[in-house]
Amino acid sequence: FGTERVLEIVKKVRENIQMDDPSQLQKYLGVMHHLVRKEVSGDTITEVTFDMAQYFRSAIEDYCSLSGESLYKVLTPFAPRMEGDALDKLLAEKGTMAEHAAHCVMKLMYGARMAMPCLCVIISRLSAQISKWNKDSDRRLHRVFCYLKHTLDIKLHGSLSTADWDSLKLVAWPDADLNGDYMDTKSTSGFFIELAGKDGRSMPLAWGAKKQG
């Protein structure tokens, strides 16, 4: 990226540092970027797939090694709520993953921040439990990894065309769960921001979830 001046700088840097030749964007910050460009009626459409399957596969193997748990197929990353005495019992006992909770949750947090918006809310909730990890936390973390194990084919996509120049606009999708977490009384805010063009094309820009004050 950049002007010819960048190539001059790279040439000087290579006098002292061994470097590969510049290439098209591929793996960056743990994310594989698959770019496809095609010409349609004189315009160039660029499609991008943000792929972190390799990263998440490593995180899954790490979790299974640390926990000794097996993973099964589930439809969502959210563990169903348990009621009454059963939940109270889990909340009262220290979780078996307490020592590794920060490690596992941070890996998931990075993956969600980079290319998996659908995990942002549950990871935000789990991160608030790291200092008071219990067996219900174990159950919820296990559920997330069960979901990941069987959804590695889900990827974040974006596309824009040169025909979109005159119609580009920022679109923001804010939401809140309105006290949807049974662990406390604070709501969780979420957002997704994209650069939108014509004919349903758009490019994801930012997303996240944060517990309200």
Q: What confidence tens digit (pLDDT) does each residue in 12-29 have?
A: 999 999 988 777 778 888
**CA-to-CA distance for 110 and 206, rounded, in angstroms?**
13
105 pLDDT band, cuts 50/70/90, is: very high
Q: What confidence tens digit (pLDDT) does each residue in 52-102 have?
A: 999 999 999 999 999 999 999 999 999 998 888 999 999 999 999 999 999
pLDDT of residue 1: 60
Kindly state the DSSP code that residue 198 receives in the 8-state scheme.
S
Q: Which residues contact 103 (CB under 8 A, 6 or more apart)?
A: 62, 66
Best CA proximity match to 54, nearest among 138, 114, 105: 114
* Higher-scoring residue by pLDDT: 3, 79: 79
Range with the lowest mean pLDDT among 16-25, 41-50, 75-84, 201-210?
16-25
Query: Encoding tokens for residue 131?
Result: 């200092």
DSSP H or E segment with residue 168: none
**CA-to-CA distance for 110 and 105, rounded, in angstroms?**
9
pLDDT for residue 7 is more than 80 = yes
Query: Cα angle vertex 204, ends 198, 208, to 5°?
Result: 140
pTM of the entire predicted model: 0.82
Q: What confidence tens digit (pLDDT) does each residue in 144-188 have?
A: 999 999 999 999 999 999 999 999 999 999 999 887 777 788 888
Query: Cα angle vertex 86, ends 139, 102, to 5°?
Result: 25
